[in-house]
Structure formats: structure tokens, C-alpha cells
Chain A
């Protein structure tokens, strides 16, 4: 069974569209994260939720809105997509925020045309 899963795996869309990426973990973890990996493979945290509450919110445009319906799910909605949003987005989870090992999903490759 996949521990941290994301859908879709690939997402190709036009500039200006709104899209969502979904993430689910079946590890029973309390904390979930969204990371963005750019074309140079640089990995940067975007958000972190602990038990459905937002605890880390890095300097991310407010076009990005995370939503956590329950502690096993953390979705990422992106409005008005821009070319610079093209990247790989990784979801991760950990038992306790940050000081515990984070387990990553397979990534969602977003291409904005």
C-alpha cells in the first residue's frame, strides 16, 4: 500500500486556469506538508498542517491555498496559474511536526503553458 499518494501525477494546463492537487497519507501521521521543487531541483517548503491546522506558511502567493479536510488529506488549490508555477509539487507527512522523519509522495509534475 502506498504510504503517501498524490493525484494527479502529471498536470498540463493553460495559464490562468485553476487546478487542484490532492494528497493522502495512510500512515496515521499528524502533520502534512507541501513542497515545491523547481527546475534546478531546489526543494522548498510551502505549507505545513498539523491536525488540520495551518502551522507553516512560507512566502507563497495567495493564489495557492491548501485545504485539509482531515488529518489524512492535504490538498493544494492553485488559482490563476502562471508560467512560473511549473514545477514538481511534493506532499509529505510526518508523525510530529518536522523533528520526525518526513515521508514523501511521488510528486505531481505541473506544466503551465
Chain B
């Protein structure tokens, strides 16, 4: 499989919480990122977490990091239609040199 994996699709109802998951093979001790890509647009940095933290909250966003299981998740509370986009996790893989490896992306669809 890929070094950084995400499920391809997630569909939620407006107002519900969304949880987007990311698993990776290994990472160096630094930052892990979540990016958002709206249709026809570039990638926008959403949030990030340092590898020595296990949780970070930023308004409606909560990032959870389980280093033991190599699992990163992004929770969006009170999901809105404007949250519909593709979400990418990005991880600096160990042995990957000085580069970020992006996940396969999760398409989030928010339904009314």
C-alpha cells in the first residue's frame, strides 16, 4: 500500500461531526499537517500538530495523533457545506529525505 493512506470518501450530514483518518508507515520527529483542497483550487493549510503532542484543538478542528499506532485524525465539529473538499494529511516520513509525503486524500461531502 501507500506510505500514507486515507479513506477515499466520507459523507456526513450538515451539523454532524466528521472524522478523517490517516495512517502512515513512520515519521520523523517534526510536524504533521492537514491540508484542504476545494474544487479547482490549490492546497490550503488547515492545521498541524507537532509529533510530541497527542491532541491539538483549533476552533472546530481537533487533531489527534497516536504515534504508537501511526495514526493521525482530523475531527471537524458541526460540519458545514463549506467544509466539502478534499482533505490531505502530510507526513515527513522517516528515511524520506527532507520532504513531506501526502496522503491519498479524503473527499468529504456534506449533505443537507
Q: A99-B30, A99-B31 are in contact. Are A56 and B99 (CB under 8 A)?
A: yes
Chain B interface residue bracket vs A: 20 to 34
CA distance A101 to B28 in the complex (A): 15
**Candidates A97, A103, A104, A107; contact of B98 at CB < 8 Å:** A97
CA distance A99 to B45 in the complex (A): 14
| Chain B CB within 8 A of A87 CB | no
Measured between beta carbons, the chain B residues less than 8 angstroms from A43 are: 43, 88, 102, 105
Contact A42 B42 (CB under 8 A): no
| Chain B CB within 8 A of A45 CB | yes
Residue of B nearest to A41 (CB): B105
Interface residues in chain A, defined as those with a beta carbon under 8 Å from any beta carbon in chain B: 4, 35, 41-45, 48, 55-56, 90, 92, 97-107
Given contact pairs A45-B99, A98-B100, a sample of 14 additional A-B residue pairs in the complex whose CB atoms are under 8 Å apart: A41-B86, A41-B104, A41-B107, A43-B88, A43-B105, A45-B100, A45-B101, A55-B98, A98-B98, A101-B48, A102-B33, A102-B90, A105-B42, A106-B42
